[in-house]
Amino acid sequence: MYLLSMLSPGQVASPPTFVRLAAHPLRWRLLSELADSDYRVRELVTRVDQPQNLVSYHLRLLRDSGLVSATRSSFDGRDSYYHLDLDRCADALTDSGAALHPALRRVAETPIPPVEQQRSRRITVLFVCTGNSVRSPIAEALLRHHTADHVAVTSAGSRPKCRLQPNTIRVLRETFGIDISSQRPQHLDTLAGRMFDHVITLCDRAREACPEFPDHPRRVHWSIPDPATADDTAQANYRAFQRAAADIDTRIRHLLPVLTATDQ
């Protein structure tokens, strides 16, 4: 082994941090759950069927490592949502492989997998936030952009605004070259009875208000703070939109392999 060949006689190799963290059965289960969706502690307790103090302890270790982060819920400020940084996990896996042997280091970034059009119908995805003026239309536009419109994607709000936030239009145009200036927010009620393969909520309030849809679509939650609530200068407010759009774009990239698996 490459790692052992670098050690002095009698020296004991220490596994990389990621390997030590992920090797624990409960932490691996928590990583697996958070790889699918953002969750609150009590939801993770239910999903892994372990005491809350034990789940909180292992979540703290994952947070200390930088693999997991927490954001305060916009629905209930006493609660937090936990999110797994998949890019950081990918880097940690690469570093762990390289520690074993340099040939295992990732040579290049994995390209975004194409989502081809199905023979019978397209995959259907619904993005939901409260106002349908910032986060969900950004997600809708980016998924359509990354899949060349091979996915039937729409967005809606539980309490839609009258129009899109101007910075929503600006950040998509300036950062991604996408124009949604003619788009208008729509209410979730207009989609009653529609069938979706994936329903993804992007704000904590909308998650609580999102209705059930026929055929039990895959439900996922992305807890993303609303950049429109940033109480600061206009320039700082726009930076909040840029951060939100970058976060959503990263999550969209991670969603693509899931859609590709659905397509098969």
Active site members: 129, 203, 210
- What residues contact 68, with CB distance under 8 A and at least 6 apart? 30, 31, 34, 59, 62, 82, 83, 84, 85
Separation of alpha carbons 193 and 180, rounded Å: 26
Q: Would residue 233 be called left, alpha or beta, if left means φ above 0 and alpha means ψ between -120 and 50 degrees?
A: beta
The C-alpha torsion from 121 through 214 and 131 to 78, rounded to 10°, is -130
Q: What one-character-per-residue DSSP string does 135-197 give?
A: HHHHHHHHHHHHTTT-EEEEEEESS--SS--HHHHHHHHHHH----TT----BGGGGTT---S
Separation of alpha carbons 241 and 226, rounded Å: 8
User: Which neighbouring-strand residues pair with 152?
Assistant: 124
Residues found in the chain: 264
| 217: amino acid identity, one letter | P
| 68: amino acid identity, one letter | V
Q: Is 182 within 8 Å of 164 (Cβ atoms)?
A: no
